[in-house]
Structure 1
Amino acid sequence: MVRVGAHTSIAGGAYNAVDEQVEYGGNCGQIFSHSPQVWQDPNIEDEEAEQFRTLSEANGVGPWVIHSSYLVNLCTPKEDLREKSRDSMQKEVDAAAKLDIEYVNVHLGAHTGAGVDGGLDNAASVLDDLDIPDGVTVLVESDAGSGTKLGGQFEHLATVRERTEQDIEFCLDTAHMFAAGYDLSTAAGVDETFAEFDDVVGLDDLACVHLNDSKHACGTNKDEHAHIGEGEIGEEGMRAFVNHDAVEDVPLVLETPTENGKSFEWNIQRVRELREE
């Protein structure tokens, strides 16, 4: 059975994300442990965490992913931002352990003048400073590659893995890959992209997919998500992607918009319709 779900809210308690996921028809998912726009501690109470774990198990929802704060920048050469990013990530992996969540997802961030090589060195160094609890894995996410942001090329992901002592894995975002120049709009393009990822990084380390269509054309470096099959990737590309052997057992997490009368529930159902099982 395909594992597909959405990014859901912990407003009112982390356990509410489980109920919301079930309401959408999802069986895996992603959360923020706090507002992603500010530096803030997760502050998840013991009882809240227990309810989250119990509800997830009772409803067969998992795996879950915590998405790190948007402010985190692993590649930064600025020491103050580096310290805040490291501290934030440490709190995220600790929160994941408390909630029995397997993954914490993070973008590499922007090198802001340090250069690609220097930025990747910085990212690996921040990861090395983390004390990651047993049972938790950090996932580095692919990026759309605008400005000095890193992660738009598979080589960036592979290099960080080579340079860090942590056992990291990866999350591929379809909209980000497409924006970065990997053409997923055809079955042939999907095949070529997975072949390149396997050659450069390795499919064994693909732990999660953010499944999003794109509002912008391939190679534009513009990150704006569209409903499944209704963006520039389109139905052919999405169908080829969700049925590819590379993601047969990989959880698909949606970050699609809520607009034009279409919700997460609509997009989850769309994925199930496209998936041939």
Structure 2
Amino acid sequence: MLRVGAHVSISDGFEAAVEREVELGGNCGQVFVGSPRGWAVSEVDETAAQAFRDAADERDVGPWIVHGTYLINLATPKDDLAENSLDCVQAELDTAATLGIPYYVFHPGAHTGAGEEAGVENVGERLSKVDVPGDVTLLLENTAGKGTTVGKRLEQLAEMVETSTNGYDELGICLDTCHLFAAGYDFTAEAAMAELVEEVDSTVGIENVHYLHLNDSKHPLGSEKDEHEHIGEGEIGEAGFRQFLTHQAFREKPMVLETPADEKGDSWNIEKVREIRTED
């Protein structure tokens, strides 16, 4: 079954987020567990958590994924920022576990001048300090590559996992289509898609890609600009998403949209994904 949904707000509570996802036409979803631009993590009591789990089960919406705050930077050379980031990652992971959400994803961060090698090593070493709950998998998201961010190349993500003591038993990968395209990974034609799948498999492993972020790109291949567009309306286009969404390597992965919040909206994008998939 195709599992596709959108990032939804928790402003009315986690249980309400399930109904919001259903209203959009989604059957899986993504949430923050605090402000995306702050360190505070929402406190969730067992009653609220159970209500969320029951609603998700009853409406058959899942798997869910928690997106980490944008402030997290495990690649940084600054010890205080790294410590705050680790504390936040741990708190967000624990909240995901309380809610019964099986996946948690964040951006690895930026080396801010220390160099890519040091940044990648920092991420791996700091991941070793995280206590990943047994029923949650921590996912690293690939980046577009702007500035000094690390995780643009798939081999960097693989190195982060392999440097950590957690390994693929506790860690995995979330691939963002806009980020892939902006980083220079083409998949708009059959041959290019085959090359991408081969590279994913030879670096992080297809089996370790647990979730997908579906976003078109406002900017050309290799631009390193992380600006999302509606599905099929950007530089990737419908042909590119047809290659990606129907390929055997990714077609069964759960996927959420982070497309622009404008008049088209999430429902339009969810339906567009379903249309493209049914063309296969």
Once residues 189 and 74 of structure 2 are traced to their aligned partners in structure 1, the CA distance between those partners, rounded to angstroms, is 33
1:207 aligned onto 2:210: yes
* Alignment correspondent of 2:69: 69
The TM-score normalised by the length of structure 2 is 0.96
Letter of the 1:55 counterpart:
A
Q: CA deviation at 1:114?
A: 1.9
My pick for the range that moved more, 213-222 or 185-194, is: 185-194
Once residues 3 and 21 of structure 2 are traced to their aligned partners in structure 1, the CA distance between those partners, rounded to angstroms, is 12
1:46 aligned onto 2:46: yes
Q: CA deviation at 1:239?
A: 0.9
Aligned length: 276
SS of structure 2 residue aligned to 1:170: strand
* Alignment correspondent of 2:274: 272
Letter of the 1:116 counterpart:
E
What's the C-alpha RMSD, in Å, of the aligned pairs? 1.0
* Alignment correspondent of 1:134: 134
- Residue 265 (structure 2) aligned to one of 263, 266, 270: 263
Q: CA deviation at 1:201?
A: 1.6
1:192 aligned onto 2:195: yes
* Alignment correspondent of 1:9: 9
User: Pairwise mapping of residues 16-165 of structure 1 onto structure 2 (< 5 A)?
Assistant: 16-165=16-165
Q: Answer whether contact 2:35 2:41 (CA < 8 A) is retained.
A: no
Q: CA deviation at 1:191?
A: 1.9
* Alignment correspondent of 1:179: 182
Letter of the 1:243 counterpart:
T
Once residues 216 and 162 of structure 1 are traced to their aligned partners in structure 2, the CA distance between those partners, rounded to angstroms, is 32
Q: CA deviation at 1:39?
A: 1.3
Q: Deviations over 1:236-275 (max 9, x none)?
A: 001111001011220011001122x211001000000000
The TM-score normalised by the length of structure 1 is 0.97
SS of structure 1 residue aligned to 2:22: helix
Q: Deviations over 1:31-84 (max 9, x none)?
A: 000111111122122221111101000011111110000000010110110010
Once residues 126 and 93 of structure 1 are traced to their aligned partners in structure 2, the CA distance between those partners, rounded to angstroms, is 15
* Alignment correspondent of 1:232: 235
Q: Deviations over 1:176-202 (max 9, x none)?
A: 000000112223222211111111221
Q: CA deviation at 1:121?
A: 1.4
Q: Answer whether contact 2:33 2:42 (CA < 8 A) is retained.
A: yes
Once residues 91 and 124 of structure 2 are traced to their aligned partners in structure 1, the CA distance between those partners, rounded to angstroms, is 18
